[in-house]
Amino acid sequence: MPDDFRTRLADAARLLLGVSSYAQGTAPTGPGLRDPSVEAVREALGGALQPVTQTQPRWLLADLESAQLQADNGSMRMAGQLWRSMQRDGMIAGLRDTRTSGLVALPKRFRGRDDIVAELRAETLTRSTFDEMFPPSELALLAGDGIGVGVGVAELVPVPGRDHPVMIRLDPEYLWYKWNEGRWYFNSIAGALPITPGDGRWILHTPGGRVRPWHWGSWQALGRAFIHKEHALLGRGNFSAKLAHPARVAMSPQGANDEHRLSFFRKLMAWGVNTVFSLPAGWDVKLLESNGRGWEVFGKEIETSDLEIMICLAGQVVTVTGGAGFSNADIHRTIRADLIKKTADALAYTINTQGLPAWALARFGTAVLSELPRVAWDVDPPADLKAQADVMASVGAGIVGLGGAMAAAGVRLDVGEVLTRFGVPTLPGTPELPAVAPPPASTPTTPPDTEPGAPDA
Closest among 427, 433, 345, 423 to 384, alpha carbons compared: 423
Q: Residue 186's beta-bridge partner residues?
A: 175, 193
Residue 290 has a CB neighbour count (10 Å cut-off) of: 14
Asked whether the beta carbons of 10 and 199 are under 8 A apart, the reply is yes
Q: What pLDDT is stored for residue 73 in this prediction?
A: 95
Q: What pLDDT is stored for residue 331 in this prediction?
A: 66
In the chain, what are the domain boundaries?
3-222+326-377, 248-288
Q: How large is the C-alpha radius of gyration of the chain?
A: 36
Q: What pLDDT is stored for residue 187 in this prediction?
A: 94
The DSSP 8-state label assigned to residue 134 in this structure reads S
- Rounded Cα gap, residues 443 and 437, in angstroms: 18
Q: What pLDDT is stored for residue 437 in this prediction?
A: 54
Q: How many residues does the chain have?
A: 457
Low pLDDT (below 70) residues in the chain: 1-26, 125, 241-246, 272-274, 288-295, 318-334, 382-385, 429-457
Between strands 108-111 and 374-377, the pairing is: antiparallel
> In sequence order, what are the residues at sequence separation of 6 or more whose Cβ sits closer than 8 angstroms to the Cβ of residue 85?
55, 56, 57, 59, 226
Q: What pLDDT is stored for residue 83 in this prediction?
A: 96
Q: Residue 185's beta-bridge partner residues?
A: 176, 194
Please work out, in degrees rounded to the nearest 5, the angle formed at the alpha carbon of residue 122 by the alpha carbons of 121 and 126: 105
Q: Which amino acid is at 133?
A: M
Q: What pLDDT is stored for residue 380 in this prediction?
A: 80
Q: What pLDDT is stored for residue 324 in this prediction?
A: 42
Q: What pLDDT is stored for residue 321 in this prediction?
A: 64
- Per DSSP, the three-state class of 437 is coil
- Rounded Cα gap, residues 145 and 171, in angstroms: 8
- Per DSSP, the three-state class of 154 is strand
Residue 192: enclosing H or E segment and its boundaries?
A: strand 191-194
In whole angstroms, how far apart are CA 349 and each of 140, 153, 354? 15, 14, 8
Asked whether the beta carbons of 337 and 379 are under 8 A apart, the reply is yes
